[in-house]
Amino acid sequence: MNNNRFIVFVCAAILMAATLVGCDKDPLPRIYADPTEINVDNQESSLTINIDATHEWEARIEPASATQWVGLSTYNGSGSQSVSLYVNACNNEPTVENPNRHAVVVFQLVAKEGKKQTATVHVTQRF
C-alpha cells in the first residue's frame, strides 16, 4: 500500500512540475490607444494619447508626408504611458477636393516573433 501512495505522490509531483514549466510568465502581447480618433480645428494643438501596452512599442505617422503637420513627443516606449500629439496650423486654403487633412498614428508592439499587434489613432484637421 505504501508503494501505491509513493507512485501517486511522484506522478502528482511530475504533473505539477510539467504544468509550471509550461506556464508562460509573460502576458499575451497587446496594445491599445485612447482616444482612437482626434478631430481638431485649423489651429496649433497639443493633445494626449494614452498607450496601454504589455511590451515595448514603436510609433509612426502615415502617410509620411503628414509629419509636416503632426508629430509625437516620443516615437517609442515600453508599457503604458502618455504621449503628446502635436498638430500645426495649416497655412494653405482648403480646396473642394481636400477640405480637411488626415493622418494615422500607428503604435506597434516590438515583437520578437509572431504577429505584430498595432493600435491606431486617426487624426483629422478641419479647415
- Joined together, the cell numbers standing for residue 95 give 480646396
Mean residue pLDDT of the chain comes to 84
Rounded to whole angstroms, the Cα distance separating 34 from 50 reads 5
Q: What is the pLDDT of residues 30-80, one digit of tens each?
A: 999 999 999 999 889 999 999 999 999 999 999 999 999 999 999 999 999
- Joined together, the cell numbers standing for residue 18 give 510539467
Rounded to whole angstroms, the Cα distance separating 34 from 2 reads 61
pLDDT of residue 111 exceeding 80: no
Reported as half-sphere exposure (CB side, CA atoms, 13 A), residue 51 has a value of 32
Q: Which residues of 14-31 are buried (b: 16+ CB within 10 A; e: fewer)?
A: eeeeeeeeeeeeeeebeb
The total number of residues shown for the chain amounts to 127
CA angle 97, 102, 105 (to 5 degrees): 160
pTM of the model as a whole: 0.75
What 8-state DSSP symbol labels residue 51? E
In three-state secondary structure terms, 64 is helix
Of 50, 5, 51, 16, which is closest to residue 30 (Cα–Cα)? 51
Domain ranges of the chain: 31-126
The superfamily in CATH containing domain 31-126 is Immunoglobulins (2.60.40.10)
